[in-house]
Structure formats: C-alpha cells, structure tokens
Amino acid sequence: MGYSWNWGIFLQPTATGDGTYLGWMFYGFKVTIALSLSAWFIALVLGAVVGILRTVPNKWLSGFATAYVEVFRNIPLLVQLFLWYFVMPELLPEKLGDAFKQSNPIVQQFLSSMVCLALFTSARVAEQVRSGINSLPPGQKNAGLAMGFTLSQTYRYVLLPMAVRLIVPPLTSEFLNIFKNSAVCSTIGLLELAAQGRQLVDYTAQPYESFIAVTLAYLLINVVVMFGMRWVEEHVRVPGYIGGK
Amino acid sequence: MHDFDWSSIPNALPFLWDGMKISLEITLSAVVFGIVWGTLLALMRLSSVTPLSWFAAGYVNLFRAVPLVMVLLWFFLIVPHLLESIFGFPRGSDMRLSSAIAGFALFEAAYYSEIIRAGIQSVPKGQMAAASALGMTYGQAMRLVVLPQAFRNMVPLLLTQGIILFQDTSLVYVSALADFFGAAYKVGDRDGRLVELLLFAGAVYFVICFTASRIVRYYQNKLKTA
C-alpha cells in the first residue's frame, strides 16, 4: 500500500508552534464536551416545558408546542445550524446583530452551535416527555384532580415524578445523539473534535492516524455516557414496570 | 433589519432542482442498499453462529457510536485513496457521489438492522415453530413466513428512517458535492443572498419532510385499524 504509519505524529510540535498535535486533539475534545453538555442542559429544560405543554388541555398551548416540535424535527440539522449562524444575526434588531457580528468569531460559532443543538434536541426531548406522560394510566391524572389538586399540582406531584423516571432510558440515546450531532458544527468552522481531525489531515498528511484517533475519541465518549446513564437508569427504575426491580 | 430580495431564486430553480435530484438519488440508493444490508445484518445478529452475530453486533455498535459527519469524512478523504492504491484507479477520479452513497448506505444499514431485528423479534415464536413443523428449512421459514410479517409491521419505521436519511443527505456539504442544500448555498454565496437562499432551503426541506411524515402517520393508523 506504500503508506508509512507514524503514530509519533501526535507528539510532534504543530506547524503553528502552539503545542503538539495531541494538544489540538485535546482542545477539540474539550470543545465537543463543553458544547454538548451546555446544549444538553438547555435541551432538557426546554424539552420538558414543551413536552408538558403538548399534553395540557389547552388548544393554543398544545398547538404551539406541536408546531415547535414539527419545525425542529423536519428541517435538517445542518440547515438549522446555517440559519442560526448566517441568518439569525441579520434578522435580529440591528444593534444586537452588529454586536454579535463584532464579537470574537469563536464565541459566535460556539453560541450559534449551542443554540442550534439545544433547540434541535429539545424537540426530541419534548417528544419523549410527552410519550412518558401519556404512557401513565389516565386514572392518575383523574385521581389527582379528584383529590382537589389543581392541574399544575397534579403535574407537579403526581404525573411528572413518574414520567421523569420512565423516560430516562429513551433520553440516554438522545444524550448520545447530541455528542454525535455536535460534529455537524465543524461545518461553520468551530474547532471541535471532527474539525481538528480534518485539520490534522491537512497539516500532518497522516490521514489514517488522525481519523482513527478522532473515531476512537467518539467511541470513548459513547462508552462513558452509556455506562453513566446505565448507572442512572438503575437508580431511577420504577419497581413493577418492565425493566424495573 | 435585513432587506429581503428573493429575485435570485426563480433563475436558480433549474440548478436547485439538479441538486434536489442528487439528494433524492443518494436517499433512494442508500435506503435500498441500507435495507438489504441491514436485513442481512439483522439475520446475522439473530443467528446462532457466534462469529456472525458478534460481527453484526460489532458493526452495528461501531456505526451507531460514530457521528455521520465522521463516517462521511472517512468516505470522502480516505476510502477513495485506499481504492486508488489497491485497485489502481486513476488518481483524482471523482468518486464523491459513489462515496457518498456508499457511506450513507453502510451507516444507515446499522440503524435499519436494529429496526429490522426488532421487527423480526416481534413476530410470535409460534410462527417459526409452525413453519418448522410443516417441514420448512430455517431459510424458507424466514423468507416465506417471518420476514413478510415483520416487514409489514416495520414499513412506517423504515419510512421514517428514510425521512431522517433524506435530511441527513444535506451533510454531503462536507464534500462540496452540490446536493440541494449545497446548490442553495452556492447560489446564495454567489449572489450575496445567503439569507434568502438558506430560508428557502429550510422551507423546502420542511414542506417535504412534514408532508412525508404526515403520509407515514396516515399509513400507520390505517395499518393499526386493519
């Protein structure tokens, strides 16, 4: 094949003189983690609100929530990202848009990516929250209301404590997805893991080592998240349900 | 506030349509190859031959753990070179479309195989037992009894995955292949009308995917009541 393997490349100083190539990889790894975790946090909060709204007995609120979910689910992630990065600053009031465009490019890329991933994922989280609430027997809500709870008390004390525990397993796969989806953000120039892998190919001409290392890094994230979530799942399982104790 | 000017879209429609044809070509070929290869993977995963089921499990878990963007980059930057050096293809031949189709098909097969595996497992065990009792071999029972029932139940899920795949084809942007989104971006960039073209692309994707998912849901409800 005539390819000369050189795994030592990662320890060599970079062409731009800022540390080693391994340091570049590690920087990308940190960006991927920071981006995914912050977006995940926002997605959980927003997704919970929208998911609850989809189940409330008010046509306007549930209609709004349905529209929200449909919009974010039926436009490709890449298109959404470009809309946030290129279009949003133009549509904002001029002062705000200019302030955004004059800020540090890294901040611009990171903010756009975070908002995009968060809203994209929140629509998926909302669907899980909705199906969690709908999977509860209707008697639970009726019993709560019959006891004299208001609707919000019924949600707060009866429905949500159960629903939250039921949706942990499906949320695991959404959590894994957000790390994988963050790779899309390399297209607007954010130097996360996949982008660093590509840059390494350009600078070192060692494509196999670079791509294998990046792929392994994603596998590592995957394995850690899976074990972490398995631990959470075991602790929140509802006794008596399928998969429960 | 931005001054909208949509005038560059009508003239660009033929070019955008060419892009859409590429998106659809990638989607259709990847769906077909993905389902065929996914079915084989699902059968391997459920087979009693341990090396086969390990191979299938490893394949599926590997592809499901890696971002699609990474898989596409492998197929755009590395696999063509590999093929050039192994089979002696002329250097620099344009393999982007075939690479894209191969990348999507191999990636989606992992997701299809999980859907198909669940579909096969949802067919009651008695069906397989009855087929064996009638003297069918394992292959005959799978082909004539289990798979037709499994596929009937899986059609909505397979179609939904197809819609997701159609959305994901926009990621061939990383190879500068002019699919629908790539075409829209190029036109917007050329005319300095990126805002309008991106909004237009988003609207087109929304209309197509929303309509398709409504049709799938209608079909799903019909299947349920049948």
pLDDT at residue A245, rounded to an integer: 45
Instruction: Find the residue in B nearest to A67 (Cα).
Output: B210
CB pair distance less than 8 Å for B67 and A80: no
B85 in a structural domain:
yes
Q: Which residues of B touch A (CB under 8 A)?
A: 1-2, 62, 65-70, 73-74, 77-78, 81-82, 85-86, 167-168, 170-171, 173-174, 181, 185, 194-195, 198-199, 201-202, 205-206, 209-210, 213
pLDDT surpassing 60 at residue A242: no
Give a yes or no: residue B46 inside a domain: yes
Residue B94 near residue B178, CB atoms below 8 Å = no
Residue A244 pLDDT level (bands cut at 50, 70, 90): low
Domain boundaries, chain A: 14-235
Mean of the pLDDT values across residues A137-150? 93
Residue type, B92: G
Which CA distances in Å does A158 have to A44, A45, A130, A142, B66?
20, 19, 15, 10, 39
Question: What is the overall mean pLDDT for chain B?
Answer: 91
User: Which tens digit of pLDDT belongs to each residue from A195-228?
Assistant: 998 888 888 888 888 899 999 999 999 999 999 9
The contacts of residue B224 (CB under 8 Å, 6+ apart) are none
Mean pLDDT confidence for B147-163:
92
Domain covering A14-235 in this structure, CATH number: 1.10.3720.10
Residue A33 pLDDT exceeds 70 = yes
- Least CB-CB distance to A218: which of B1, B67, B194? B67
B175-186: average pLDDT: 90
A73 pLDDT more than 80? yes
How much is the average pLDDT of B172-181? 88
Residue B135: give the domain boundaries. 12-225
DSSP A109-161: HHHHHHHHHHHHHHHHHHHHHHHHHHTS-HHHHHHHHHTT--HHHIIIIIIHH
Question: For the residues B122-150, what does the mean pLDDT come to?
Answer: 93
Q: What is residue A160's predicted lDDT score, i.e. its pLDDT?
A: 93
The predicted model gives A58-81 an average pLDDT of: 95
Could you give the number of structural domains in chain B? 1
Mean pLDDT calculated for residue range B27-43:
95
User: Is B4 inside any structural domain?
Assistant: no
ipTM value, please give it. Answer: 0.90
Question: pLDDT tens for residues A155-181?
Answer: 999 999 999 999 998 899 899 999 999
Residue B82 has pLDDT above 90, yes or no: no
Contacts of B68 (CB under 8 A, 6+ apart): A180, A183, B107, B168, B171
Write the CATH number for B66: 1.10.3720.10
Does the residue B5 lie in any domain? Answer: no
The single-letter DSSP state of residue B169 is: G
- Percentage of chain B lying above the pLDDT 70 cut: 97
If you average pLDDT over every residue of chain A, what do you get?
91
B7 occurs within a structural domain: no
